[in-house]
Structure 1
Amino acid sequence: MESSRDRLEERLQRLAARAEEEKVFSRLYVEPARAAADAADARRRAGVTLGPLDGAIVSVKDLFDVAGEPTLAGSLMRRDVRPAEADAVVVARLRRAGAVIIGKTAMTEFAFTAIGDNPHYGTPGNAADAARIPGGSSSGAGVSVAEGTSDVAIGSDTGGSVRIPAALNGVVGFKPTARRVPLDGAFPLSPTLDSIGPLARTVAECAAADAIMAGEEFRHLQPVDLSGVRIGIPRGALFAHTEATVADAFDHSLRKLTLTGMAVADVAIDDLLIEMKKATKRASIAAMEGAEIHADWLAAGAATAVDPHVSEPLARAASVPAPVYMRALRRRRELMAAMDERLSGLDALVLPTVPILAPTIAAMAADEAARDRAEGLLLRNTQVANQFDLCAISLPMPGTDLPSSLMLVGRHGHDSRLLAIAAAVETLLTA
């Protein structure tokens, strides 16, 4: 079995060879990673293990605190902030579990957009085609796993920022129920909607990372018997404007699922989606909470130093009165309860993670209207899990030249059940 140190060195060599044009990683921890890999190898020789990620090469998004350095969150504005005094909770837990933290991955500025571009530090090219967008906001995370420089990457997900880059790069991405994983030490976008989740090659690796970050005892993931699983397909608005290639791959995957004896039925949720849209008509919860987090530089007129795709929606949201925000939160709680009741007879929803294949970086830069349309489509399906506080996982679908993925969405708090179902679906799709 190849040692952790050997695996690490192979990745460091690959990264060193492209150092002058590096866009996937914003920072590397070469010597600390070597020390962690050597320690993992020593434990293995002694017959000791710290768990399923002992010796695994793990990257973390550039919004997680690492002691002794400023947390940039993809922005030039944070280069001179006070260095973090301690690691983020999830980083500390991963270290204690023996993970080899190789570095921090690139992200969109302040984790705000879904395209994956960053005008300050550069845009990582998609792992399947470097001319295409990586998806955001955890852009470097998705690319690092897909290209094999990370075994597991840790991202954040406020409207799909783990699952979108996972889908576009062809890897697995898991968004847990909000607040299951502590947010301490993670630069926020929206405390109400933010979740921390892993990206990896397999559901099992995601489940292992999730358990460690949630502070739960790891149990070997046991795929369920799909013949006893009840799946709902939310036909309607979430299937509109789906590219033919994605729709065909989804239909093919769905046929494979139905052959297992899984109970599959259409389920209507468009009425709840409409009500949520009404509740956030003035501004999204993420934008309103983000406007409060960034109020100082918005008030100081420093928006010109920030990507306008970030600063402009935040500035608009800053003018929304507090009662509008409070009503949106109250209405959201009511709609969360209604969604939970609607899903009470199901184990999960299934739908395409995103309805489009990754467009080119050049096309997004050349046409603002096309960029806005693409971003809306990228976020449309994934944001449902955040808005209604559900758990969700993105799995690659076979049969497309560029990566495409289906998403399983589980009820609030049913994370373990969803991961077990996902493990069985993964086996079926990769057979």
Structure 2
Amino acid sequence: MSALISTFSLGGDGPTIAIKDTIDIAGMPTTAASRALADAAPAQRHAQVVQLLLDTGWKIIGKANMHELAFGMTGINDYTGTPVNPQDATRIPGGSSSGSASAVGLGLADAALGTDTGGSIRGPAACCGVTGFKPTFGRVSRRGVAPAESTLDCVGPFAREMRMIAETMGAIAPGFDRNAALKKVTTCNVGVANVDAQADLLASVARAPQRAGFTSRAIDLAGLADAFQAGLSIINAETWAAFGHLVDSGKLGADLEARLRAASATTPEQVSAAERVRRSFTEAVDRALDSVDVIVMPTLPALPITLDDARRGVSVIAMSSLIRPFNLSGHPALSLPLPIDGSPLKAGLQIVGRHGADEQVCAVAAAFEAALAG
């Protein structure tokens, strides 16, 4: 199925870009790839990120498909169709920004915008073998993006190379320094996080700093598992607040309806506890970044499962165990394609930086990109 829900041409003759269907484009409905929102009124104005792209001459080529209501990790959508994973059509493309990752991986667009509330840019990027960047929380405007209220969600770019990631960030994030984001990095102190993941992925992550000529050491990130659970509590509460009114519409996918109903059971006490974890984990990441320039780990703990396995009900919630915590803490985090010995598939190398150091994360990622391509 197509990575795009709709195709059209809007804007100038600059780079081409697809826009996830949670981001408003004036005159078009924002349906979040859901039958329940199919009759939504057309957006009255562009989301700020869309306006910024148009102001700088970019060419929008369509609305990108996605996991329904941006509330899922597989990218499977039986209403709008499931985007193809460019690396392996038998595997899930990842969610929720499945169409954005697929469109870039298939070469349909130079770049795409997605949103990342619990790993929804970095997860699909790792599945589809492309690069995806979640900026520092608040660095990129969410005006005109659904859901309107979120303490986790970020708009960010997908591309096939870091140069285009930097170009896209330069367009959508006023003040972003493209030159700094692509500045040659020759020295970097890398913290390799001790995490639970597939052995061959961990080995590839451990080798990456050496290949780039960087120094590295193993580090522990206190509270990572607790941050994952806390992130689930907060996304459940906030997604229920945004879309809970749709559960009785009879128009939601069965999986989505079940997840929303389960999310409705999130208690205020769980949210309060999650907020305490947010504070403690953010402090732990900040402390770790006092002694290293960036932290690296696999984006996903394993390669993506097959579509058949996902449809049979194999759990995918652990897919977000290494990415969701950084939505909670708000740190910038990027997933870069990572070669795996003996596999035709690329996994993801997640690079996490200090709050506001988005340009540094991109520059380090560009150095890794060059080293891993050799």
Interval of TM-score (by shorter of Structure 1 and Structure 2): over 0.9
> Partner letter of residue 392 of structure 1?
A
Structure 2 counterpart of 1:272, from 210, 223, 226 = 223
1:249 lines up with 2:198 in the alignment: no
Choose 271-280 or 55-64, whichever is displaced more: 271-280
Residues 328-357 of structure 1: CA distance to partner in whole angstroms, max 9, x if unpaired? 224412431232123211111111111222
Cα distance change of structure 1 residues 278 and 102 upon mapping to structure 2, 3 Å threshold: closer
- SS of the equivalent of 1:26 reads strand
1:288 lines up with 2:240 in the alignment: no
Superposition deviation, residue 273 in structure 1: 1.9
1:397 lines up with 2:338 in the alignment: yes
Moved >4 Å (runs of 4+): 277-280
- SS of the equivalent of 2:346 reads coil
Superposition deviation, residue 251 in structure 1: 4.0
Superposition deviation, residue 248 in structure 1: 4.3
The question of whether the paired residues in 2 share the 8 Å contact of 1:223 and 1:422 is answered with no
Choose 344-353 or 393-402, whichever is displaced more: 393-402
Q: What is the rounded CA distance, in whole Å, between the counterparts of 1:131 and 1:313 in structure 2?
A: 24
> Partner letter of residue 256 of structure 1?
R
Superposition deviation, residue 425 in structure 1: 1.3
The question of whether the paired residues in 2 share the 8 Å contact of 1:176 and 1:195 is answered with yes
1:136 lines up with 2:101 in the alignment: no
Q: What is the rounded CA distance, in whole Å, between the counterparts of 2:293 and 2:360 in structure 1?
A: 8
The question of whether the paired residues in 1 share the 8 Å contact of 2:166 and 2:182 is answered with no
Q: What is the rounded CA distance, in whole Å, between the counterparts of 1:277 and 1:138 in structure 2?
A: 19
Superposition deviation, residue 167 in structure 1: 1.1
1:157 lines up with 2:116 in the alignment: yes
> Partner letter of residue 27 of structure 1?
S
Q: What is the rounded CA distance, in whole Å, between the counterparts of 2:318 and 2:225 in structure 1?
A: 16
> Partner letter of residue 405 of structure 1?
G
Residue in 2 that maps onto 1:82? 41
Residues 42-74 of structure 1: CA distance to partner in whole angstroms, max 9, x if unpaired? xxxxxxxxxxxxx10111111111111210101
The question of whether the paired residues in 2 share the 8 Å contact of 1:158 and 1:189 is answered with no
Gaps of 5+ in 1: 1-21, 41-54
The question of whether the paired residues in 2 share the 8 Å contact of 1:177 and 1:413 is answered with yes
1:388 lines up with 2:340 in the alignment: no
> Partner letter of residue 223 of structure 2?
L
> Partner letter of residue 272 of structure 1?
G
1:417 lines up with 2:360 in the alignment: yes
> Partner letter of residue 336 of structure 1?
T
Q: What is the rounded CA distance, in whole Å, between the counterparts of 1:196 and 1:288 in structure 2?
A: 20
1:343 lines up with 2:343 in the alignment: no
Structure 1 counterpart of 2:6, from 9, 13, 27 = 27
How well do the aligned residues superpose, as a CA RMSD in angstroms?
2.0
Superposition deviation, residue 327 in structure 1: 4.1
Cα distance change of structure 1 residues 405 and 327 upon mapping to structure 2, 3 Å threshold: closer
Q: Which has the higher contact order (CA 8 A, sep 6+)?
A: 2
1:168 lines up with 2:127 in the alignment: yes
Structure 2 counterpart of 1:378, from 292, 315, 319 = 319
Q: What is the rounded CA distance, in whole Å, between the counterparts of 1:250 and 1:113 in structure 2?
A: 26
Residue in 2 that maps onto 1:319? 265
Q: What is the rounded CA distance, in whole Å, between the counterparts of 1:420 and 1:253 in structure 2?
A: 15
Q: What is the rounded CA distance, in whole Å, between the counterparts of 2:47 and 2:125 in structure 1?
A: 23
The question of whether the paired residues in 1 share the 8 Å contact of 2:48 and 2:141 is answered with yes
Superposition deviation, residue 191 in structure 1: 0.6
Residues 77-109 of structure 1: CA distance to partner in whole angstroms, max 9, x if unpaired? 111122110011111101111110000110000
> Partner letter of residue 87 of structure 1?
H
The question of whether the paired residues in 2 share the 8 Å contact of 1:385 and 1:392 is answered with yes
Residues 218-257 of structure 1: CA distance to partner in whole angstroms, max 9, x if unpaired? 4324334332x1111111xx333x153x344334434413
Cα distance change of structure 1 residues 377 and 317 upon mapping to structure 2, 3 Å threshold: closer
Cα distance change of structure 1 residues 279 and 116 upon mapping to structure 2, 3 Å threshold: closer
1:360 lines up with 2:306 in the alignment: yes
Q: What is the rounded CA distance, in whole Å, between the counterparts of 1:207 and 1:248 in structure 2?
A: 28
Residue in 1 that maps onto 2:146? 187
> Partner letter of residue 83 of structure 2?
P
- SS of the equivalent of 2:66 reads coil
Cα distance change of structure 1 residues 137 and 278 upon mapping to structure 2, 3 Å threshold: closer
Structure 2 counterpart of 1:226, from 179, 186, 190 = 186
The question of whether the paired residues in 2 share the 8 Å contact of 1:24 and 1:144 is answered with yes
> Partner letter of residue 288 of structure 1?
A
Residues 155-207 of structure 1: CA distance to partner in whole angstroms, max 9, x if unpaired? 00111111111111111111101111011111128611000110001112111
Gaps of 5+ in 2: none
Q: What is the rounded CA distance, in whole Å, between the counterparts of 2:91 and 2:199 in structure 1?
A: 16
- SS of the equivalent of 2:43 reads coil
> Partner letter of residue 186 of structure 2?
L
- Greater share of helix residues, 1 or 2? 1
Structure exhibiting the larger radius of gyration computed from Cα positions: 1
Choose 85-94 or 125-134, whichever is displaced more: 125-134
Identity %: 33
Cα distance change of structure 1 residues 198 and 248 upon mapping to structure 2, 3 Å threshold: same
